[in-house]
Chains A and B, each alone.
Chain A
């Protein structure tokens, strides 16, 4: 069965510092992998996705993530944090041919001035 594990329910970084949000997944076949962001009082917004091809994927707002099959990981990074990045981030997975999305518990990112 698919599952997603996000390490750290809260992560704090200083403005300008590297953002690293960790995600590991479990799936029997290479899945689709996603990161979603949720700003206060808003819906889940797709930040980036891995479907096939290049394992380093770039998303909106300067975020990127790398699919590492050997480590079953899909960690999210951003070189330099901005105050506007403060939000909740969800890693998610979906099996190919299946339309339901399996989410992790989420990581709340705090940006320190």
Chain B
């Protein structure tokens, strides 16, 4: 069964540092997403990406965040200057058909801890 992979599984960083979270979506998928879950809270949509452009972003996704598909296989989320409140589990997802959101495949997540 195809799967979305994410690295690293756990990232610890100091406040103010830049972090890059990496995802490898399923190979024939066209739509890519990042979600996050702060401990004890709900999973929240951050951004969707298609055809090398952001399709939609939430209010959480401010100028500190950026996404990129640098090489046709990886999909990355960069946080420019991390804050304590960025500590969360970050999930990547990918899909072939955006009309079928339930076809989004999720990765196992990266736990980001900002100290």
Contacts and interface: CB of A to CB of B under 8 A. Distances in A.
> Of B31, B44, B56, B106, which is in contact with the most chain A CB atoms at under 10 Å from its CB?
B106
B43 A99 contact: no
B75 interface: no
B106 A44 contact: yes
A88 to B, nearest CB: 10
A34 interface: yes
Contact of A43 (B42, B58, B102, B106): B106
Contact of A46 (B9, B45, B102, B108): B102
Nearest to B107: A43
A12 B109 CA distance: 25
Contact of A103 (B40, B44, B58, B109): B44
Nearest to B9: A41
B4 A43 contact: yes
Interface residues of B, number: 29
A100 B109 contact: no
Contacts of A9: 40
A102 interface: yes
A103 B31 CA distance: 19
A100 B101 contact: yes
A70 to B, nearest CB: 23
A34 B102 contact: yes
Contacts of B35: 101, 103
Nearest to A9: B40
B41 A94 contact: no
B45 A100 contact: yes
A99 B107 contact: no
A82 interface: no
A90 interface: yes
A96 to B, nearest CB: 8
Given A99-B31, A100-B101, A43 B43 contact: no
Contacts of B31: 99
A105 B104 CA distance: 19
Interface in A40-55: 41-46, 49, 51
